[in-house]
Amino acid sequence: MRLTWIALLMMLPALALAQGELRDPTRPPTQAEIEAWFGNGPASGQRSPFRLQSILLAPDRRIAVIDGQRLRLGESVDNAEVKAIEPGRVVLERNGERIELTIESHLTNNNDGSRY
């Protein structure tokens, strides 16, 4: 009886592999997964030209992730140059037009007006 249980336990990993491909949880998301996570854009059905996904601020560098691309000051995405990377916002410039991107926060304001 004990040998039967051991055999069954040894077959479980093989059954999991037979069910489908195992995904590496540390791999970067695909573009389709990013779009599914963030939705198709605003409720109006129109997508803004750029999507600010993340900002990294450190003493020695500032990086913004826009449409899945890591960008530093002076670099470009779709002919728009990164002009400023600040807490919560990034400023782009394309053809003389200033484009300000912000990260939406899910934090709610407290009664005293503070954000935390």
Please state, in angstroms and rounded to a whole number, the distance separating the CA atoms of residues 62 and 91.
13
Please state, in angstroms and rounded to a whole number, the distance separating the CA atoms of residues 78 and 94.
9
Is 67 in contact with 50 (CB distance < 8 Å)? yes
Residue 42 has pLDDT above 60, yes or no: no
Nearest to 69 by CA among 46, 87, 90, 86: 90
Predicted local confidence at residue 108, as pLDDT: 43
Whole-prediction pTM: 0.51
Is 53 in contact with 65 (CB distance < 8 Å)? yes
Q: Which residue has the tokens 């691309």?
A: 69
